[in-house]
Chain A
Amino acid sequence: MARFSTSQTAAAVPLNGRIKKRRTKSIPLIQQVAGADRFWVMLFLLPFIILYTSFTLWPLLATIIYSFFDWDGNGPLELFIRLENYITIARDPLFWLSFRNTLVFALINTAIKLPLSLMAAILLTRKWLWGQRLFRTVYFAPLVIPVAMAGLIFQLLLHPANGAINDLLTSTGLVQRPIDFLGNERLALLSLVIVSVWQIFGQYMIYWMAALQNVPEALYEAAELDGAGEWKKLVHITLPIIRPVAIIILFLAFVNALKVFGLVVTMTGGGPGFQTYVVPYFIYTQALVDFPFRYGYASAAAVLFGVTILLAVTVQGYFVRRAEADRKDYGV
């Protein structure tokens, strides 16, 4: 049985939500529901649909509703103010700064974590590698540390007065004066990016490992017979084959990075100044920290941000379709 799971694309493909469009000519993968199966299909869908509607769709809808009210999150929704929250948001410089910071964060974060985790995934799936299990666990480990603890650790490690990293930099003579990673307005966001890469790395490593299954081992063997080295195998076999899946992982990585929150709270609190304010943190402070709460306003910020991202994703959808076309060409 295991034969099938290993010979197929397994976990890699599912990262793609638009898979339904793809139909292989020879075997119709999807069958039309008929007869008694109707009942089963309904039954199988029900648990997910119920929970999904109640805990994902409804909150989303509620957020949109709240965004039209002047509401502190408490008591009845009474003060309908139409688009006023949106108008205020559009003129709120802190929101736009947060917006910009979020995008910068997500872009750099994605640009760093994906190649690195891909390299790790490739290395850690080489059959010749010693100690695979151990290394995988090691690189996965940061993912399990609660974010409040991770924030504290890095506050201490990055500290300019006695932090380990500055100790190392100054004692090796790399820098003259300690660097204030979290206090410097140009470095703070970047420091957050690095720490978040460290934290989330394991997750993308696993995604990449899934993607790498698309590469039939036979191709490698053939290449080896031709005397290709590891680098050539990477460039000419691995990368082209995983490209379609890579695009989907890229989306996921970028969108998840846009949700950055916990590390900001624990490491910088948005500072220095407002240099590390990101949209989720902005929403959080508006809705729940600064009294009186502005829940309606925060909801408007969330909706505005969400819609913008969705638009971006729709544009990206074009690339998804191209990726699928590519994949078909490779026949995997």
Chain B
Amino acid sequence: MIRMNRFSRYNLIAVTLLVIIGFIWIYPFLWVMFASLKTSSEMFSAGATLLPENWDLSNFVRAWDKANFSTYFFNTVLYAAAATVIELFKSSMCGYVLGRYRFPGRNLLLGLVTATLFIPIASIILPQFKLVQALGLLNTRAGVILALSGGSGALYVLLFTGFFQTLPDELFESARIDGATFWQTFRLMLPLAKPIIATVVIFQFMSTWNEFNIPLVFTLGRPELRNMAVGMYAFRGEFSVDWTGFAAGTTISIIPVLLVFFVFQGYFVRGLAGAVKQ
């Protein structure tokens, strides 16, 4: 009884605090959503006011057409999904091996991966571009996907390495006794890494979804291969910017990302914070 009361008291304070700060926190977010329903002059003059005077859906229509979202939506989903799957695939495999096996060059690889994590790489797009060109993959979806999933991943590898390293050895022992092959053991262990998988999926999906440099640069000869983040730049003209169209475009394009977060949040709850529940 006393316990319950104490936690209820905590909740009153904490929830109040979280609601107030939370509102401030997502206020800019709401502001974008509502700005997409305003006229451009209202958006600039309304200050803090959220609700538009007249609800105007034309921004969405314009955003969809002008930013080519109907064409780009498919590309965006494809790029984000493919890059995420590849990222997951390569970083989990690499992390698994690094976490469980000792082999020549292992320390060097770990050291390099760690070091590059800390080096800011400025304007690497040019060398990447030359590489993709040399591979003959310019103006193909494959080139974009490759570049999207190639440039990141050091952190993810370290995440998986650490995870597999901390799995209890008895697990592997019993797998071995059961006669599981290398591949079968990996198949058994991978699902245990759900929290890491969730982290990779969310961060990688989010960053590829919003990435505009790579999809732009590697598809210059074929504009129909671009994604929505590139399309968003259609609102910036030579002399003026269509901010309300941009806001509408933003609203359209971030909703799927939030959905992904909602879906995978389950894994977060279990994986990242689950320990507390036990």
Contacts and interface: CB of A to CB of B under 8 A. Distances in A.
Do chains A and B make direct contact within the complex (CB under 8 angstroms)? Answer: yes
The A contact surface, by secondary structure, is helix
B157 to A, nearest CB: 6
Contacts of B15: 129-131
A234 interface: no
A13 B196 CA distance: 11
Contact of B229 (A55, A146, A299): A146
A16 B165 CA distance: 12
Contact of A63 (B124, B151, B191, B277): B124
Interface in B91-145: 91, 93-103, 106-107, 109-124, 126-128, 130-131
B232 A146 contact: yes
A263 B25 CA distance: 17
Residue with the highest number of chain A CB atoms closer than 10 Å, among B113, B158, B247, B262: B158
B224 to A, nearest CB: 22
A175 interface: no
A125 B269 CA distance: 9
A145 B252 CA distance: 11
Interface stretch (A81-89, A148-156, A268-276): A148-156
A326 interface: no
A15 B162 contact: yes
B196 A14 contact: yes
A69 interface: no
Contact of B275 (A16, A137, A157, A217): A217
B124 A19 contact: no
A293 B180 CA distance: 58
B100 A287 contact: no
Contacts of B270: 2, 6
A157 B48 contact: yes
Contacts of B96: 44
Contact of A1 (B150, B192, B195, B199): B192
Given A133-B269, A149-B32, A310-B115, A59 B124 contact: yes
Residue with the highest number of chain A CB atoms closer than 10 Å, among B109, B122, B182: B122
A19 B165 contact: yes
A92 to B, nearest CB: 15
Nearest to B254: A144
A33 B117 CA distance: 27
A309 B119 contact: yes
A51 B150 contact: yes
B126 A153 contact: no
Contacts of B113: 17, 52
Contact of A302 (B123, B128, B192, B247): B123
Given A33-B101, A54-B150, A210-B195, A10 B271 contact: yes
Contact of A11 (B102, B106, B159, B206): B159
The B contact surface, by secondary structure, is helix
Contacts of B106: 20
A317 B186 CA distance: 32
Interface string B235-278: 00000000100110010011001100110010011111111111
Contacts of B171: 4
Contact of B28 (A8, A153, A299): A153
A224 to B, nearest CB: 9
Interface in A111-155: 123-133, 135-146, 148-150, 152-154
B28 A150 contact: yes
A58 interface: yes
Nearest to A251: B118
B153 A59 contact: no
Interface in A265-314: 279-280, 283-284, 287-288, 295, 298-299, 301-302, 305-306, 309-310, 313
A285 B90 CA distance: 35
Contact of B272 (A15, A143, A206): A206
Contacts of B168: 4, 8, 27
Contact of A141 (B29, B86, B166, B232): B29
Nearest to A214: B275
A102 to B, nearest CB: 9
A314 to B, nearest CB: 9
A94 to B, nearest CB: 15
Given A11-B163, A13-B165, A63-B124, A162 B102 contact: no
Nearest to B47: A162
Contacts of A6: 270, 274-275, 278
B150 A30 contact: no
Q: Which 8 A-B pairs have the closest CB atoms?
A: A14-B162, A164-B48, A17-B114, A55-B150, A59-B124, A302-B122, A62-B127, A48-B94
Interface of A: 1-2, 4-20, 27-33, 36-38, 40-41, 44-45, 47-49, 51-52, 54-63, 73, 123-133, 135-146, 148-150, 152-154, 156-157, 162-164, 167-168, 198, 201, 203, 206, 209-210, 212-213, 215-217, 230, 251-252, 255, 258-259, 279-280, 283-284, 287-288, 295, 298-299, 301-302, 305-306, 309-310, 313
Given A6-B274, A59-B121, A153-B32, 4 more contacts: A7-B278, A8-B167, A11-B272, A210-B195
5 contacts: A10-B163, A19-B165, A136-B265, A163-B48, A164-B47
